[in-house]
Every structure is written in structure tokens, then in C-alpha cells.
Amino acid sequence: MTTEIKPNVHWVGAIDWNIRDFHGYSTPAGSTYNAYLIKDEKIALFDTVKKEFFSDLLHNIHRLVEPEKIDYLIINHVELDHSGSLPQVIDLIKPEKIFCSPMGLKAIEAHFHPRDWPLEVVKSGDTLSLGKKTVHFLETKMLHWPDSMFSYIPEDKLLISSDAFGEHWATSKRFDDEVDNHMLMKHALKYYANILMIFSPQVQKLLAQVAEMGLDIDMIAPDHGIIWRKSPSMIIEAYDRWSRQENREKAVIVYDTMWKSTEKMAHAIYSGLVEEGVEVQIMNAHVNHRSDIITEILDARALVLGSPTLNNNILPRMADVLTYLKGLRPKDKFAASFGSFGWSGEAVKHLNGYIEAMGLELVDEGVKTKNVPDHEALALSVELGRKIGRKVMGKE
């Protein structure tokens, strides 16, 4: 099924109802691989789809035009969820030209080793006339790959934004005014936290650049999820907020536990934080996926990490979460650690090491409890919570 999103601009992508893991990011609601076809004097296809969805793309194109009539392919991004079916598409349509960014050319060469594809490099500021419509190219390096670029169609005030402003959400609806706004922003937030948090400085620069260029945008069509036609400004403003990594009076306690002692400490720290007026989210790494934990951390002002000591180290699920979190480069958070131990008790030291490696502010050396915490030991955890809470609430 296709959808006309602007006059002679059609969504021809694929819906992936079944994907549940997107390179380590949990996608319980599936995803979409959006591709767009413009029918003008020249016919242009913007991006393709994952390899296994080639026939869906082809079927959609067939409903609008004979695929062989497509003149141009525009490759905004070379990651395989958008380019996996590129070789089959090129074999079939034999395009007159394939446009990509300078880094896109390198990525296409490295992925597909093409010999005779009619590749043409475009840079920021270059334009391509399709007849009545024009494509303006804007390189968006590291949003989120070096090759990424936007395509802007001024005649339609349409921004085809590649991975930016997307969500992993399989739905039969295509537009923001057709879906529940709370669900939409929840999916968009998770997408930002897991894909783009690391590139927040680049997002800030891009938003400033777009504002300076004065692009008149009334629709944003990303490569995943929902098309923003009612409120493109809503997602632009959210990206501005998220990329500043603005936080609020909220703490996230992330822990794993072996015999529930570290869990008891987590609950005591929670009490201390709440007593100081902090909103707290407890995330047990055993039952929460790393990508959901990261989503909660994005707007938190404090991060509290807990693990018992296992083999002179931390529990593996905490190492998983912290390796992932460190790569996403969170910033501007108070942090501390806690954990129970049997005889050596290195976990808190290791957790503090992660905090320091992430450049977060360690507010306390942490609390350790031997085996099962008694009332006095739990009181130390409550006091740690209160100390962090006072920092979060700006009381010290």
C-alpha cells in the first residue's frame, strides 16, 4: 500500500511488524523502513528498504509507476535497513543517476563494491531539478552516520530527514495527526536516547544551521515511523530539548541483585531520594531492557548504580547496561554506587570507575554492605539517597 504525502510524493516503504531487536535496541512495536517516490518530469526514489522487504517496495512502486521508469535514486543513508535492497533495485530499474553524499560514496563502495553504478556525489547546497520540484541536499554528518544527508523539497516545504526525527513503530497509520500523541513522543524519545544521544552536540549544530538557512518546513518525512505533517515543530523542539540533555529533578536507580541484598539497598536509597522530593525510577537490569533504561536516564539529574560483587567484579547485566550507556555519552548527572558483598567487595569500586569514565559527578564514594543489610546498614543507604537527593534538588 502506498500513501501520497504531498502532491506526487508517495510513501512506498515497508512495515516490519516482527522486528524486536534493532542492533541491541528493543523494538517491541516493530518498525518501518520509509522510502519515498516523487513523480515529476524525472521520477526519483529516495532510499530503499531492508533486503528482505525488497518485494514490498517493488509492489508499492508498481502501483504508481513501472519501476524501470525511475530515473534517479537518492541515497540519503547507507545503513542496511535502508540500502539492503539497493543492488536488487539498481539491477531492476537501471537508474540514470544515483545521488549520494561524499561519505555516502565511500560507504556504498565499502558495502556493495559496485563496478558500474552511475554514482554522483552531491554536497550541502547542491540542488537537483526533477521538473516542477527541486531537491536541495544537506549533509548531516554523524546524524547518525558519516554519510547521512537530508533532502529538502522547497516546492512542497518537505524535509526528507533520513534517520533523524524517526521512531521504531510499526503502524498502519502514516501521519502524526492519526496516532496517539503520547505514544508517538514516547517512541520518538526512546529513539533519540538510543540512537542520537551520543550525537547531541551535532544535533544542536544542525538545528542552528537549519534555523539559519530559514528552511520553510511544513512536513518532515523520516526513514522510520511517523511522518510529521501536523506538528513538525513539535519534534524539532523536542530534539532541541533532548540534545541539550536538559535534566530534571529525577533520579534513576539501576541495579542487579544476586540474593536481594543489593535490591534492599536500592529500595533504601529510593526512600532517601523520595524524602528529599526527587522523582525516582527504579530499573532492575534483570527485568528492564538496556534501551528502556537508557530512555529513563536521558532526562534524569542523578544516576545511582548498584551491583553485588561477583568474582571481584560486577554482575554481567550491569556491565552490559553500563557499556551501552557509556557509549551514548550521557552528561550533567550526579552519580553514586552501592552494593552488597561476601568477602572482597570490589563492585562499588568498579561502578565508580564507570561513573568517572563517563565524566559524571561522583557525589559520594558509595555504600557497601556485607551480605544482608540490617537496619543500620540500610540507614546508610537511606542517607546516600538523601545526599544525592539534596544535590538533585539544589539544596547543596
Residues in contact with ligand FEO by CB under 6 A are: 77, 79, 81-82, 144-145, 163, 223-224
d(CA 247, CA 241): 9
Cβ neighbors of 193 (< 8 A, separation 6 or more) are 242, 291, 294, 295, 297, 298, 328
Catalytic residue among 10, 136, 144, 168: 144
Q: How far is CA 275 from CA 23, 175, 181, 261, in A?
A: 39, 43, 33, 21
Exactly one of 25, 36, 40, 77 is catalytic; name it: 77
The answer to whether residues 89 and 57 touch, using CB atoms and an 8 Å cutoff, is yes
- Which among 79, 139, 156, 176 is annotated as catalytic? 79
CB-nearest residue to ligand FEO: 79
* Cell representation of residue 251: 533520579
Question: Active site includes 23?
Answer: yes
Q: How far is the CB of 366 from ligand FEO (least distance, A)?
A: 37
Q: For ligand FEO, which is the closer residue by CB, 40 or 79?
A: 79
The residue among 191 and 341 lying less far from ligand FEO, judged by its C-beta, is 191
- What's the closest the beta carbon of residue 301 comes to ligand FEO, in angstroms? 30
Which of 25, 191, 192, 255 is flagged as catalytic?
Answer: 191
**Least separation in angstroms between CB 48 and ligand FEO:** 12
Q: Which is nearer to ligand FEO, 151 or 337 (CB)?
A: 151
Q: Residue 327 and residue 12: Cα distance in Å, rounded?
A: 34
H/E stretch holding 340 = strand 334-341
Asked if omega into 144 is within 30° of 0 (cis), the reply is yes
82 vs 333, which CB is nearer to ligand FEO? 82
Smallest distance, Å, CB 81 to ligand FEO? 4
Q: How far is the CB of 163 from ligand FEO (least distance, A)?
A: 4
Active-site residue flag, 332:
no
Closer to ligand FEO by CB, 133 or 224: give it.
224
Q: Closest separation between CB of residue 217 and ligand FEO, Å?
A: 20
Per the annotation, the verdict on 350 as an active-site residue is no
User: Would you call 81 a catalytic residue per the annotation?
Assistant: yes
Smallest gap from Cβ 168 to ligand FEO, in A, equals 9
- Sheet holding 43-46: strands in order across? 3-6, 9-11, 36-39, 43-46, 72-74, 97-100, 119-121
Phi, psi of 372 (to 5 degrees): -90, 125
Q: Is 163 a catalytic residue?
A: yes
Whether 191 sits among the annotated catalytic residues: the reply is yes
Q: How far is CA 210 from the centre of its chain?
A: 20
Q: 327: which 3 cell numbers?
A: 557509549
User: Which residue lies nearer to ligand FEO by CB, 28 or 316?
Assistant: 28
Q: 79 vs 256, which CB is nearer to ligand FEO? A: 79
Which residue in the list 224, 239, 256, 263 is annotated as catalytic? 224
Which residue has 539497598 as its cell numbers?
265
How far is residue 82's CA from residue 264's CA, in Å, rounded to a whole number? 46
Specify the residue, 144 or 264, whose C-beta has the smaller distance to ligand FEO. 144
Rounded CA-CA distance 42/120 in Å is: 16
Residue pair 9/35 in contact by the 8 Å Cβ criterion = no
Backbone angles phi, psi at 83, to 5 degrees: -115, 0
The distance of closest approach from Cβ of residue 166 to ligand FEO in the complex, given in angstroms and rounded to an integer, is 7
Catalytic annotation on 320? no
- What's the rounded Cα separation, in Å, for the pair 227 and 186? 15
CA–CA separation, 309 vs 348, rounded Å?
Answer: 8
Catalytic residues: 23, 77, 79, 81, 144, 163, 191, 224
